[in-house]
Structures are given as structure tokens and as C-alpha cells.
Amino acid sequence: MDHQDHIALLKDGLATEDGIWADFGAGTGAFTLALAELLGPSGQIYSIDKDRQALDSQARTFNKHFADLPHPSIQYINYDYTQKLDLPLLDGALMANSLHFHKQKVEVIQLLQDYLKPEGAFILVEYNVDRGNHWVPYPLSFPTWERLSQRLGFRSTILLARHPSSFLKEFYSALSIY
């Protein structure tokens, strides 16, 4: 996938070109960069990952990409997002290719729900399969996410986009409103 593919997976999930968002498990920031482009200069992003080197790499890419362009503010937080974190109420939360590392998904999502404003958006990007492998141990297909999101109290969940993957069939992005 390239940058335009990342944008395509997210773009229909953002209602406005501003707001306060967090990217949980941001890694080197491929999806954080797409989120930044979509939010525009009035947005604010918290990029959260426990890998300091990945965040440093992300900061270099962000600074290069937006060198002469207006952009949202971004804060890099080196932290394990499965632990309570002091964040403002969020307009949106993003988990792109990070939820599949957690067998106990309910606890992780419930923690993230505490950060969302009423009507807050949650965008999930995930492999569209229910069986993983060593590198992607606990993926969940869109139908599985749809059922789980309803059980967790999201008001609605819609499929935003799909993208082929040579690794595990395809990716999907979904928007769930809390």
C-alpha cells in the first residue's frame, strides 16, 4: 500500500477537516500521515506508540512531508496505549493494523471508548480475516468487528473501504460511531 491507499481507507470516515484525533499503535505513521492530510491545519493529532524509534521515524517523515505546508499539530506519545493515558476527549480514534496484536480486544476498545466524545468516531483498519499467523496473530474480519462493535455499544458501524493484500486477502476500514 502507498500513501494514497492509506488516504482512501480513511477519507470517508472523517466528517470534518478538523478535530482532535488519536492514532493508537501508530508505528512509523503511515496512517497518521494520511490522517494529518485529511484533518488539515486546524486538526490536532496524538500519535501513540510504545516504540520510541518508530515515533522518531514518524516525526522525521511528518516534518519532511509538511515542510512548507500548513498541517495539524501533532504530539508523539511514547506509551503503551493499553494502559490509561491522560488525553483530552477525542473527536476520533484510529487503530490501523494494531488491534490484531491483542487477543483480548474488548478491554482495549473499552479503554479507547473512554477517550471519545459522544458521537465520537472510531476508525479501524484491519485484515479482513478471522484467522491470523505469527505476524498478525488476532485479526478480525469486518463481520466480526460489526458484531463486536455493536456489543461494545457503538451506535453504528459501516464498511468504508477495502484494499487487496497479498499477505492475508485484504484490508478493510470501518467507521464506528460511539
Say what the pLDDT of residue 106 is.
Answer: 96
Residue 167 has pLDDT above 90, yes or no: no
Full DSSP string of the chain = --HHHHHHHHGGG-SSS-EEEEEET-TT-HHHHHHHHHH-TTEEEEEEES-HHHHHHHHHHHHHHTTTS---EEEEEES-TTS----PPEEEEEEES-GGG-S-HHHHHHHHHTTEEEEEEEEEEEES-S---SSS-S---HHHHHHHHHHTT-SEEEEEEEEE-SSSSEEEEEEEE-
- Domains of the chain by start residue, with CATH: 3-177 (3.40.50.150)
Percent of the chain with pLDDT strictly greater than 90: 89
* pLDDT tens digits, 108-159: 999 999 999 999 999 999 999 999 899 999 999 999 999 999 999 999 999 9
